[in-house]
Amino acid sequence: MNPVDDLAMQAAVSRTKLHASHRSQRQLSDGYDHVGMAGELAFGKAFGLMPDFDSLASGDKGVDFVLPLALTVDVKTFRKPRNLVHEVGKPFADLYVLAQYNDEDGSSRLLGWATGWDLAQAPTMTLPGHSVLNHCIPASELRPMEHLLKKRLVGMPLVKREKT
């Protein structure tokens, strides 16, 4: 493991300890913070950005990265990423990225992305074994990561905004 990976895993342990008793903490799987940090690290590597390793008592407010033009990104990482999910009633980031965690080597692979607007319009469901209602987009319906990488390079707008 390289020094950045070591920092990421130390941050995951710190986050788990800090949020252990918080009502808002949703431990969806074993090693939840470790899995999430691995996804954030994969996104950071792909986009030349460093994940935020800080452990904040109030959490990250659903924002893992801020891209140029102040676009917020929330990376959702799962061992079995069937859907991109976002809890109903929580604020939305501009972009969401779904990643798959690999237990064998601790890495994550970026699978696809959607805008916050897309996710807000998505059907809702309760995940098996949990009572929280989530907006869900099937992984097979997400935009390819290559499209996001290309848009980042040429500075095209990424988010469809509602008219105010």
Query: Could you tell me the pLDDT band of residue 163, with boundaries at 50, 70 and 90?
Result: very low
Q: Sorting pLDDT into bands at 50, 70 and 90, what band is 41?
A: confident
Q: Is the pTM of this model over 0.75?
A: no
Span of 14-18, 25-29, 119-123, 151-155 with lowest mean pLDDT: 151-155
Q: Of the given ranges (26-35, 45-54, 62-71, 134-143), which has the lowest mean pLDDT?
A: 26-35
What mean pLDDT, rounded, does the chain reach? 79
Beta strand 95-101 with 71-78 is: parallel
